[in-house]
Amino acid sequence: MVTKFQESQMTGPQTSRPRQEVSRLLTAAVISNQFRQVLLTNPAKAINGGYGGEKFDLPRDQQKRMASIRATSLAEFATQLNSIDASWTGVSMSGD
């Protein structure tokens, strides 16, 4: 049984790695109520603390922007994150 949260090797171009890390962060928030509550109340703590013994490898500027999100639900967090993500890449997470 695979229990390691982090992929053994990141795949894809260097620019897609932050997106993979964001995906890992959101996955952790979906599967863990405790992590989700920390993410919603103190995003910086959640990002810096990681999940399941694994850290999130995000560039410092993206960590700061994500830490500034204030949301009361994961859906609201993801909506604000999508706006931030569009400003990083010029493309929204939904592919718009």
Contact between 29 and 36 (Cβ < 8 Å): yes
Q: Which residues are within 8 A (CB) of 60 and not within 5 positions of it... i.e. 6 or more apart?
A: none
Reading the chain (96 residues) residue by residue, the pLDDT tens digits are 344 554 444 444 444 577 899 999 999 999 999 999 999 999 999 999 999 999 999 999 999 999 999 999 999 999 999 887 665 554 445 544
In the prediction, which pLDDT does 16 show? 58
pTM attached to this predicted model: 0.73
